[in-house]
């Protein structure tokens, strides 16, 4: 995983015990299709168990709607960023 952001009610005063967690995930650029699929389904099934509540998982590569993208960009908060830097030669 390259980056993880929270968005939605968790970044507002509306978050409560009944709220889910909205996550925006960016994976590494160089993943093979099978690796991408494994990462997605691993996160999809494991995060709700780890966090103890439902998780809405959005992959950043799939956000095409410009209005939703703008809303995400205005409200998302970074919670994880990989320390590894990709270098091209």
Cβ–Cβ under 8 Å, residues 39 and 60: no
pLDDT at 49: 97
Secondary structure (DSSP) of 7-43: EGGGGSTT--TT--EEEEEE--TT--HHHHHHHHHHH
Residue 28 has pLDDT above 80, yes or no: yes
- Given pLDDT bands bounded at 50, 70 and 90, which one contains residue 23? very high
| 30-74 pLDDT, tens digit each | 899 999 999 999 999 999 999 999 999 999 999 999 999 999 999
Q: Give Cβ neighbours of residue 5 (< 8 Å, ≥ 6 apart).
A: 23, 24, 25, 72, 76, 77, 78, 79
- Given pLDDT bands bounded at 50, 70 and 90, which one contains residue 14? very high
- Given pLDDT bands bounded at 50, 70 and 90, which one contains residue 29? confident
């Amino acid at each position: 995983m390259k980056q993880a952001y929270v968005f939605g009610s968790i970044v507002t005063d509306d978050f409560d015990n009944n709220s889910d967690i909205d996550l925006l995930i960016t994976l590494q650029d160089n993943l093979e299709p099978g690796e991408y699929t494994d990462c997605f389904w691993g996160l999809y099934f494991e995060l709700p168990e780890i966090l103890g509540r439902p998780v809405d998982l959005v992959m950043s590569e799939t956000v095409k709607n410009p209005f939703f993208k703008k809303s995400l960009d205005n409200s998302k908060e970074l919670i994880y960023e990989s320390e590894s830097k990709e270098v091209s030669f």
